[in-house]
Structure 1
């Protein structure tokens, strides 16, 4: 089953993290067959939000909502079950200063 691990944290604290530690984590997850995809995101100041209401497109600078922690990146994992996904998420380096939200990927219904 696929799980998306969303990495959140205070951008100021995350900026001080050594990227090599995150790369080592990703490489370990890839070698074990768990990592399907992953990426770090640019700072929230580079975000643009798109909404469509009543057929009108509205584009605004910035994230959808102001929060204390920002979405910093993601890991898409293949795991046996939620417990294995949580075990892997607990090893993602920014979890020590932020949080990692683990969510199962839902298959779209095509009927």
Structure 2
């Protein structure tokens, strides 16, 4: 079962050490990939409502925490995904199952 691990950070926190997580997930063959996100201050939010497009510079939400990155893992169970998430220190981790997207064309 595939899960996305969204990493939430306080923007004041320094870079994180993910080595324990990366080692465990790679050795078990469970790590599919991951991405670190740039600072939210340089993001752009796009909304379409009733055919009208609105573009807003800056972070989508004004909060002390932001999504700093994500990993995608393929684990046997939700419990295993939670075990892996617990190896990442100093971040809030959202563990969310991925839906089957095999019918989507990209």
TM-score scaled to structure 2, two decimals?
Answer: 0.84
Alignment of 1:1-111 (within 5 A): 1-13=1-13, 16-17=14-15, 21-23=17-19, 25-93=21-89, 97-108=90-101
CA RMSD of aligned residues (A): 1.9
* Aligned partners of 1:69 and 1:98 also within 8 Å: no
In 2, distance between residues paired with 1:62 and 1:70?
Answer: 12
Segments of structure 1 that go 5 or more residues without pairing to the other structure are: none
Aligned-pair CA distance for 1:88: 0.4
TM-score scaled to structure 1, two decimals?
Answer: 0.81
* Aligned partners of 2:4 and 2:71 also within 8 Å: yes
More helix by share: 1
Q: 1:8 to 1:108 in 2, by over 3 A?
A: same
Aligned-pair CA distance for 1:27: 4.3
